[in-house]
Structure 1
Amino acid sequence: MLKGKRILLGVTGGIAAYKAAALTSKLTQKGADVHVIMTNSAQKFITDLTLQTLSRNPVYTDTFDERQPEVVSHIHLADSADLVLIAPATANMIAKMAHGLADDMLSTTLLATTAPIMVAPAMNVHMYDHPAVIDNMQTLVSRGVMMIEPGQGQLACGYVGKGRLEEPETIVEIVERYFAEMDKPPLPQMLQGSKVIVTAGGTVERLDPVRYITNDSSGKMGFAIAKAAKQMGADVRIIAGNTSAAPPEGIAVERVGSAQDMYEAVMRHWEDCSMLVMAAAVADYRPKEEAPSKLKKQGDTLQLELVKTVDILESLGQRKTKQFLIGFAAETEQLDRYAREKLERKNCDLLVANDVTVAGAGFGTDTNAVHIYDRNGLVEQLPVMSKYEVAYRLLTAAAVRMDRA
């Protein structure tokens, strides 16, 4: 997939810069033509000679170090790239990109390029969660920049949490998938001009500051729907709860916690959306009270009083006017009966039901097997297939019905 692809790799100044050596090597081994730009801070962690040796190309560090008189280096690099990859991307570089600053070779080149841009953040967990950093990343995503979410684990600063640069092997796989998608024929633009909201993952209902009730939802189905919708021409936003899968690149993601948080986020976008796909697994109940401090172990049993959460899908069904509403139902028995009842009760336009006891159709898998219903009954029964293919078939059915309305 990468043979002959010209990748401009930007390396910024964090301890994760040492991983740029492995990343450069693996991209080059895959056949990519890798050209590296390093910031001054990056050179404190890894030498330009290392990356020059691994890429077999000169490494650029200074805007004014013009080596070819017939071209302006940063413009030439910007124009010739098939993809610009920033890995690791510090909070500082992300801020520069968001605000259009150009005070070094890398940030200047980023302003000059029209190539797709992929960013792999790496920083302290509290920096990654800082509102300014979150706003800057959301700004970049809204402009079409693709984000490679950092991993969770032990950070160099000693903290444990989210912020570790994704492993080079995974970044290479993401880059390969990107080019594979680019080489595919485009999907029919059946959702062109539509604004689509997709919820994904499970909600988190807290017992105390360290414990919560949730479910097994990985977010994969919702993310597949969002990706397919974008490729079918829609303007897409994801509202995601607790997920174990990475969201698709290039789509704005709004993170939420509880069912109430998800409801409020959905309602902020409800009036303006054309379609809402409620693929999230929203908790039906929450603790009546959230303890302000950690509940201590007392006795052999613990009794919890639970109360119903807001029913997001039903609330939307009561409010919908022009919006096309798609619900989901994960069942373990009597799938047809429960799916039809839920569609009517929640006033959905389509309802997707799956039996989570069927192999390949449960939580966390890359595949699914579903039944799709509308008001007239079963629309389509899909055997086990990739969640992306399920998403495409579902959205095609939805688009056809939206056109008829």
Structure 2
Amino acid sequence: MSLGAVRTEAAPDETPGKAPSRRAQSVRAVGLLVALGVLALVFLLSLWIGSRNIAFLDTWNVLWHNDGSEEAIIIHDLRIPRALIGLLVGIGLGVGGALMQAVTRNPLADPGILGVTMGASASVVVAIAFLGITSVLGYVWFAFAGAAIASVVVYLLGSAGASSATPERLVLAGAAITAVLFAFNQAVLLLDPTAFNEFRFWEIGSIAGRKMDVVVRIAPFIGAGLLLALSQARPLNALALGDQAGRALGAKIGTTRLLTAVAITLLCGAATAAAGPITFVGLAVPHVARLIAGPDQRWVLPYSTVLAPVLMLGADVIGRKIGGAEEFEVGIMTAFVGAPVFIWLCRRRKSARL
């Protein structure tokens, strides 16, 4: 079966081209509000829980009144930036993954399938090995530029020739670019042990130790990518029915794929630049969103916007608690938390049919 034939199974009254009932809309809206409440709770837990035990009331007080105490410094200088990074990275990966699965019509697509993650990694390797950059703040622009360049190359390869950028061509081009960049990374790192030691700390995926400067740098890209993604929800619904049906419904297929690719680059590029490669968030969260809201991208994208940060921040909090003095990085924890959830989703008949 071709990749273009892979699509999410939906109930008859939940097809993308059919308007849902008012009751279904109300249920989805209430579910989204509940998810926002869960996100607010997990965000507060991220500010409260850490290697240094601070009472919840003290955390709440210094959150609003920075009195310069040691607890206030921990909350404002360490935990707030960390929580905001987790929030932004979660949004970037979750919405980016949902867009990838929609534009490729492949429920197994994730931020690595179009070369975004490997492009960022290759750029960071160059920054470390050849330019001597060793700070997270210094990696951000290189990683984002690498992700953007890789995405452009993949799109150009996927649209080369007489044919347009079909899902199959984009996936094949992404796989080719990913293989080439992976080989480049391995060659450079094997020849430069110092670069390997620096790179492995970024590659593991972490939001610890990030300062507010990183938040300020990636927030505009995440915001722009999110707005662009939400603007493509309706055309992506038409695209899910196939190119011919999409054109019949008035969707501009090429423009939709191009704008979606730009949104993916902004979201996943900025997220990977800030935290490194983090797996399973962009893969599993859109499945949960579709399980709750159905295949309509007008609901899948908002749900992914909320649920992905819940997974990111929740995994980070769990990693702080079970690791004791030595915390488990969020990149490790999302794999431990996300993999069982994804396996469970794949086993459900309503999740995805290949």
If the TM-score is normalised by the length of the shorter chain, which range does it land in?
Answer: under 0.3
Going by fraction, where is helix more abundant, 1 or 2? 2
Normalising by structure 1, report the TM-score.
0.21
Normalising by structure 2, report the TM-score.
0.24
